[in-house]
């Protein structure tokens, strides 16, 4: 590995889930970019592209294998089954960290502008250990994605998580930052929150986002909800505190109700109807259910963490550095 920050070894990490339609075009563009960076002596000639197949059910792995056979710059990792985008990125980075000086992670559909890579590397050369990619706008997203993303980032900030709004998983990490990340062994993984938590010197690069050219989004609503829940619960116990506050509030309302009832009783107005009773039953019932749900979420996550199961393991590795595997 290089001693100084000039011409370091770059590993580009690309998570892929059912990307048979996108991966070939993307590989071609990434290879062009890598060759250009090597030719201009921005990165070392030992730089590589690592495709992480997140348990795809289509021909993705076959294509990665072929790309590997045809290009010595390409490596492949394969999960036995789908472990999710965050785990795929993490596996790629953890695999790469013994070989490289820094990694850049990017989605397989190359929606993120690969020409921003030079800017990432420049920030790294100037001393940053972590360079965050922040998207310029969300014009290419549908209204739903735009709204849900805005809501998500607002929620995260409210919950006390240190996060860059609109930061994507397009990011540069130095070997030092990766070593720090390796120390976090939580199952409930939310990289966008954990990485700022490392606290090493960092900077931000803005980039454009393009519409997806091939294939469909691999992020259905269910996966977005899981990501949001992971994000919030892994960073904050504020929701539990909110439950507590809600309890106090409900209690206060109860006390006021009792005073009100006593007043009615002694001053003999009509017996107040069942509507108010029914209403409090619903309000309280709802509050109780909600609170139980939030607590249950944390208990469940605690259970997942205490089991200490591996987050992933490789099923197959395609690499020419067999002596080091």
Residues forming contacts to Mg ion in the complex (CB under 5 A) are: 107, 109, 111
Partner whose footprint covers residue 129, from Mg ion, ligand UDP, none (CB < 5 to 8 Å by kind): none
Residue nearest to ligand UDP (CB): 217
Look at residue 21 and give its three-state secondary structure: coil
Closer by beta carbon to Mg ion, 47 or else 111:
111
Q: How far is the CB of 110 from Mg ion (least distance, A)?
A: 9
32 vs 50: CA distance, rounded Å: 15
Interface residues with ligand UDP (CB under 6 A) are 15-17, 19, 54, 82, 84-85, 88, 107-109, 111, 217-219
290 vs 294: CA distance, rounded Å: 6
Closer by beta carbon to ligand UDP, 7 or else 135:
135
Closer by beta carbon to ligand UDP, 88 or else 194:
88
Closer by beta carbon to ligand UDP, 211 or else 273:
211
Q: How far is the CB of 137 from ligand UDP (least distance, A)?
A: 15
Q: How far is the CB of 168 from ligand UDP (least distance, A)?
A: 9
Angle at 239 between CA 236 and CA 242, to 5 degrees: 130
Partner whose footprint covers residue 76, from Mg ion, ligand UDP, none (CB < 5 to 8 Å by kind): none
Closer by beta carbon to ligand UDP, 7 or else 78:
78
- The percent helix, strand, coil of the chain (3-state, each to 5) is 50, 15, 35
Packing angle, helices 221-235 and 274-307, rounded to 10 = 80
252 vs 245: CA distance, rounded Å: 11
Q: How far is the CB of 118 from Mg ion (least distance, A)?
A: 22
- The answer for residues whose C-beta is within 8 angstroms of residue 212's C-beta and 6 or more apart is 22, 109, 111
- The answer for residues whose C-beta is within 8 angstroms of residue 289's C-beta and 6 or more apart is none
Host H or E run for residue 275: helix 274-307
Partner whose footprint covers residue 88, from ligand UDP, Mg ion, none (CB < 5 to 8 Å by kind): ligand UDP
Q: How far is the CB of 52 from ligand UDP (least distance, A)?
A: 7
Closer by beta carbon to Mg ion, 86 or else 111:
111
Partner whose footprint covers residue 230, from Mg ion, ligand UDP, none (CB < 5 to 8 Å by kind): none
User: What torsion, rounded to 10 degrees, do the Cα atoms 154, 113, 108, 318 define?
Assistant: -120
- The answer for residues whose C-beta is within 8 angstroms of residue 2's C-beta and 6 or more apart is 8, 9, 44, 101
Partner whose footprint covers residue 108, from Mg ion, ligand UDP, none (CB < 5 to 8 Å by kind): ligand UDP
Closer by beta carbon to ligand UDP, 54 or else 123:
54
Check if the beta carbon of residue 207 is closer than 8 Å to that of residue 170.
yes
Partner whose footprint covers residue 82, from Mg ion, ligand UDP, none (CB < 5 to 8 Å by kind): ligand UDP
Half-sphere exposure (CA, 13 Å, Cβ side) for 79?
28
Closer by beta carbon to ligand UDP, 149 or else 240:
149
Q: How far is the CB of 76 from ligand UDP (least distance, A)?
A: 13
Token pair for 248 = 């106090």
> For residue 229, how many other CB atoms are within 10 A of its CB?
14
Q: How far is the CB of 312 from ligand UDP (least distance, A)?
A: 11
Check if the beta carbon of residue 161 is closer than 8 Å to that of residue 232.
yes
Partner whose footprint covers residue 33, from ligand UDP, Mg ion, none (CB < 5 to 8 Å by kind): none
Q: How far is the CB of 60 from ligand UDP (least distance, A)?
A: 8
């Amino acid at each position: 590995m290089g001693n100084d920050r000039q011409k370091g070894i770059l590993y580009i990490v690309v998570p892929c889930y059912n990307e048979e339609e996108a991966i070939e075009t993307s590989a071609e563009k990434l290879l062009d970019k890598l060759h250009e960076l090597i030719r201009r002596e921005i990165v070392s000639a030992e730089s590589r592209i690592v495709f992480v197949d997140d348990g795809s059910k289509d021909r993705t792995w076959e294509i990665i294998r072929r790309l590997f056979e045809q290009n010595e710059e390409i490596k492949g990792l394969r999960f036995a089954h789908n472990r999710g985008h965050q785990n795929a990125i993490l596996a790629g980075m953890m695999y790469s960290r013994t070989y490289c000086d820094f990694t850049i992670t990017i989605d397989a559909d190359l929606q993120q502008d690969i020409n921003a890579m030079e800017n990432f590397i420049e920030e790294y050369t100037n001393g940053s250990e972590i360079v965050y990619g922040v998207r310029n706008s969300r014009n290419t997203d549908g209204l739903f994605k735009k709204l849900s993303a805005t809501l998500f980032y607002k929620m995260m900030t409210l919950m006390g998580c240190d996060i860059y709004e609109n930061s994507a998983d397009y990011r540069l990490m130095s070997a030092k930052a990766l070593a720090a990340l390796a120390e976090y062994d939580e199952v409930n993984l939310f990289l966008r929150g954990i990485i700022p938590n490392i606290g090493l010197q960092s900077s931000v690069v803005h980039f454009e986002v393009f519409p997806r050219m091939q294939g469909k989004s691999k992020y259905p609503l269910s996966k977005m909800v899981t990501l949001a829940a992971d994000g919030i619960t892994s960073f904050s116990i504020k929701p539990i505190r909110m439950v507590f506050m809600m309890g106090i509030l409900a209690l206060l309302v109860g006390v006021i109700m009792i005073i009100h009832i006593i007043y009615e009783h002694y001053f003999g107005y009509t017996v107040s109807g069942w509507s108010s009773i029914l209403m409090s039953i619903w309000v309280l019932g709802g509050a109780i259910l909600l609170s139980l749900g939030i607590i249950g979420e944390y208990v469940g996550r605690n259970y997942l963490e205490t089991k200490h199961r591996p987050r992933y393991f490789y099923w197959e590795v395609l690499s020419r550095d067999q002596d080091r595997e």
